[in-house]
Amino acid sequence: MTLYSATITLILVMDPLGNIPLFLSVLNHVSPKKRQGIILRETSIAFMVLTLFLFFGQYILQGMHISEPALQIAGGIILFLIAIRMIFPHDTPEERSRQMLDPFIVPLAVPLIAGPSTLTMVMVLATQAPNEMPRWFAALIIAWLISTVILVFADALRKILGERGLIAIERLMGMILTTMAVQMSLSGFEQFLHR
């Protein structure tokens, strides 16, 4: 996987455009200036969690005796399920946000940004090519920066794109992520069969 494809995959999995309605709903009672500070704090926490899993996730997997093909297949399945939910959402952002009481770490940093699929993705990158860690870390930084900028300007983007525009973009991202998920699972099966 190249730096470009790793960055695009991480952005799609982080789903900053899909998270805009959730972030704005959770932080609805907060002033716009303070809201940006909270978003920066939460995205920074998510970045630290993702960095931890990027560099040390493989050791956790080794301790649990999980093979790389198993991780790739599982990662593909998780990404596929996330993509299906992006294309066919089960509930509205408003309904989901009502369940979110504490906007500190949970649910904004984890699991909205650093969710199971993103954590799995960074671990897959790390185990696929451990010698390319600088490339994966650069991809994580770029994807995180883009996601952070999108979320910081969430109010402006919602005004420009509208609710329908955000939903359309999220579903398009879901379609792209579906094909990436299938490819990841196929690569895992291929690797397993050639062992």
- Cα distance between residue 15 and residue 169, in whole Å: 10
Query: Which tens digit of pLDDT belongs to each residue from 116-154?
Result: 778 888 998 998 888 999 999 999 999 999 999 999 998
Provide the residue ranges of all domains of the chain, joining segments of one domain with +: 3-193
pTM, 2 dp: 0.77
Query: Which tens digit of pLDDT belongs to each residue from 48-87?
Result: 999 999 999 888 878 888 887 887 788 788 778 877 877 8
Write down the number of H helices and E strands in the chain: 8, 0
Structure tokens given for 20: 């805009």
